[in-house]
Amino acid sequence: MHGLAILTSLLAVPPLDLSVPEPMAERRPHVRQLHGDRFEDDYFWLRDRKDPAVRRFLEACNAHADAVMAPTRELQEQLYRENLARIRETDVSVPVFDRGYYYYTRTEKGKPYPIHCRKKGGLGAKEVLLLDLNQLARGKRFVDADYTVSPNGRILAYTLDTVGSRDYELFFKDLSSGRTLPDRFGKVTGVVWAADNRTVFYTTEDAAKRSYRLYRRRLGSARPTLLFEEKDPLYNLFLSEDRDHRFAYAISESMETTECRILDLHAPNQAPKLLQRRREGVEYYPTRFGDRFLIRTNDGVREFRLVVAPVRYPDRRHWKTVLQPRAGETIEGVDAFRRHWVVRIRRDAVATLRVVDVRSWSSHTVAFPEPYYSASLAGNPMFDARRLRMAYQSAITPATVYDYDPETRRLKLLKRQAVNGYDPTRYEVRLLWAKARDGERVPIALAFRRGAQIPAPTLLEAYGAYGIPSDPYFRSSAVSLLDRGWVLASALVRGGGELGERWHDAGKMASKQNTFRDLVDCARFLQREGWTSPQLLAVTGGSAGGLTVGAALNANPELFRSALVYVPFVDVVNTMLDETLPLTTGEFIEWGNPKIPEQYRWIRAYSPYDNVAPKDYPALLVRTGWNDTNVPYWEAAKWVARLRALRTDRSKPLLLKVDFSTGHGGSSGRYDALRDEAFDQAFLLATVGEGSLRVP
């Protein structure tokens, strides 16, 4: 490949200040003995957020990180300005029509949060403000909200979290007067309106943040009615509804089994009806289609099939198969409309949309312009829709909204995310296949600027858990790296869902080591093929992806120059032993239960915190949130403390950044998020490569 075509300046990246002393956590003896294994956990005390020494250590880590990065402040500011200049600060989404109103979201320059609005009847009508998150965020550093409107359009129900801990409260607002109603419920995880406009069904969570109870409540009433409680700690309870608002579904779901109860939204006082009793390993997900249920299930087909059953007799005895996956395919989801079904089918890492005409039973796959992309339905509330609203993006194509006509098979562009100064034709995406050590083919997605020199500085991302696919997405801030000659890579390792259910199965429980080995083998592949080198390779991952990165760093730190890790799940044994923590019990069938000797040995062999050893590690920046309930802050803090105590090469930075105002998702305001991104990019530029960067 040739050099970049357009270069206007070279800016040296100043060296980081490694003379700043690292905060070293106090060692307090704590021994874990389990199944004959003895582990000295000197930093167990960092779990106690009430201990003032914990806060002092974390604040010292923040001050240390800022001091080490101080020489890059000018670079951080430049990166922030670049990233800010690319976004359209004042913008509006494509309106969605639903039951007489056009709903949309807009942003205003200088305001960090979106504003949710609607107009009645037509886009020329007067705007009505639904929720202004900027107002809700006054005096707070974090805000997250979601909403749903009553069927008659008069009452807004919205959930609100202002600390980042996923503690959502449910509020109600009279849209005619703007008055907030006195009804207010806590620890809510889902809400659906009944057709009478006064009754709501909602789910709540327990002390371990497991969604487990289903309630019915009429606004203004003193007490709710408990309709169902999921008592099995392996299960969470989720609430959804049909597109035509006839039925709601309370689905008890473990990692591999479901059970559904049906709520008639037109008869809210009726008790929920069980559709099909749970059977271990069987999942099923219904949606109403006329006088039948359309059900996606893995009953008899590991990669799922579609069946139909009469609404009056929906149990398994009346299921009739209407679609099975072909070899190599997985049916990931289905949406039912009056005239069409839209089936999401994954094959070779790409999820396509197959449209089935229910009148002729003919089908076709929607044709998109790139070979590797993400596409899904978005903004389709109307069951009678003739055109289908679709969302599309890739690593180099900004988020795009289309209307699709199933009859003509044409996509109509409605809106593409505005990215100032960005030309997607200057960039390229490739999907490569690396050969893992056991012979399995592992996909790697690459994005880079055409003409970039190789070997190139490369940021390799990985996740690999829960069967969740790491589909491509566009980030305007990533252009700052692409335009400096970086390659952005994603290793689609086992444990994720990129190659279907088998891919998940091959990267969990006793097979979990495949996930980490795949990341290592993908790194070696990129180096062997000349895309990058150990001196030019950074690795990144968040949450369960932080586990993937942490295990790979323990196994083969020499392959990586730098690592950027977010809210990492790295203290696996201790977390999975503590059933009071969110997620623990439900994930026994993802990682294993360490109280069982054999499963303990699986986890103990890869847990990043337990396996830190005296060796050279790459430069490392770790981010976490004080209010994180998914992966508590202490996992990152303990990991960094142990790495500082044991690593042998202290010539590379080891930084911990703790945000005391957020949780698992990081900064909620867009300007704060861009500041964080600039800090992280400056870290990468300062720790990878030859100390200079190219600016187009």
- Radius of gyration from C-alpha coordinates of the chain: 26
- Six-digit token string for 607: 């847990």
Distances (CA, A) of 130 to 137, 190, 467: 15, 19, 36
What is the spatial distance between Cα 370 and Cα 92, in angstroms, rounded to a whole number?
26
Q: Is 543 among the catalytic positions?
A: yes
Of 336, 335, 380, the C-alpha closest to 97 is 380
Which of 471, 628, 676, 680 is catalytic? The answer is 628
Cis peptide before 369 (omega within 30 of 0): no
Cα 382 to Cα 596: distance, rounded to the nearest angstrom: 49
| Residue in 252, 664, 667, 668 annotated catalytic | 664
Listed in sequence order, the residues at least 6 apart from 506 whose beta carbon sits closer than 8 Å to its beta carbon are 440, 494, 495, 514
The token pair at 671 is 């300007």
**Which of 122, 128, 127, 187 is CA-nearest to residue 160?**
187
Question: Which SS3 state, helix, strand or coil, does residue 696 take?
Answer: coil
Q: Which of 165, 480, 543, 607 is labelled catalytic?
A: 543
* C-alpha distances out from residue 386 to 17, 243, 367, 389, Å: 61, 14, 18, 10
667 is catalytic: no
Annotated catalytic residue 266: no
Amino acid residing at 650: R
End-to-end CA, the chain: 17
Cβ neighbour number for residue 237 with a 10 Å cutoff? 23
Residue 361: how many other CB atoms lie within 10 Å: 10
The three-point CA angle 372-373-376 to 5° equals 145
Residue 522 has φ and ψ, to the nearest 5°, of -65, -40
Q: Which residues pair with 239 in a beta bridge?
A: 250
How many alpha carbons lie under 13 Å from residue 525 in its C-beta half-sphere?
Answer: 23
Q: What is the DSSP letter of 496?
A: B
Q: Which positions are catalytic? A: 543, 628, 664
